[in-house]
Amino acid sequence: MIDELLYSPLFGVALTLACYALAQKLYVRTGSIFFNPVAVSIVAIIGFLLAFRIPHEAYVAGGRLVLFLLGPSVVALAVPLYVRRREILERKVPILLGITAGALASILSASGLAWLLGGSREVILSLAPKSVTTPIAIGIVEKIGGLPPLTAALVVLTGCLGAICGPEFCRLIGVRDPAAMGLAVGTAAHGIGTARMLEVDRLGGAVSGLAIGLNGLITAFILPLIVALFL
| 119 and 210 within one domain | yes
Q: What is the pTM of this model?
A: 0.85
| 215 and 120 within one domain | yes
Instruction: Answer with the one of 43, 68, 93 that is the final residue of a domain.
Output: 68
Sequence-ordered list of residues with C-beta below 8 angstroms from that of 34, at least 6 positions apart, any chain: 164
Residue 133 lies in a domain: yes
CA distances from 188 to 53, 96, 99, 167, 192 (A): 35, 14, 9, 11, 10
| 44 and 94 within one domain | no
Instruction: Answer with the one of 31, 49, 68 that is the final residue of a domain.
Output: 68
Residue 73 lies in a domain: no
Helix, strand, coil fractions of the chain, as percent rounded to 5: 85, 0, 15
**pLDDT averages per 10-residue partition of the chain, 231 residues:** 70 90 93 89 93 86 76 82 91 93 93 92 93 89 91 91 92 92 93 90 92 93 88 62
Q: How far apart are CA 147 and CA 105, in angstroms?
A: 21
Q: What is the CA radius of gyration of the chain?
A: 18
Please report the pLDDT score of residue 197 as a whole number: 93
Instruction: Answer with the one of 16, 35, 68 that is the final residue of a domain.
Output: 68
Please report the pLDDT score of residue 133 as a whole number: 87
Q: What angle do CA 64, 218, 128 make, to 5 degrees?
A: 65
Which residue segment(s) compose the domain that 199 sits in? 78-230
Please report the pLDDT score of residue 128 as a whole number: 94
Please report the pLDDT score of residue 108 as a whole number: 92
Q: How far apart are CA 56 and CA 8, in angstroms?
A: 13
Contact 131, 183 (CB under 8 A): no
Residue 43 lies in a domain: yes
Domain count, the chain: 2
Please report the pLDDT score of residue 169 as a whole number: 92
- Helix-then-strand count for the chain, H and E: 13, 0
Give the 3-state secondary structure of residue 177.
coil
Give the 3-state secondary structure of residue 42.
helix
Residue 147 lies in a domain: yes
Sequence-ordered list of residues with C-beta below 8 angstroms from that of 227, at least 6 positions apart, any chain: 125, 128, 144
Contact 187, 211 (CB under 8 A): yes
Q: What angle do CA 71, 75, 81 make, to 5 degrees?
A: 155
| 200 and 135 within one domain | yes
Residue 87 lies in a domain: yes
Residue 173 lies in a domain: yes
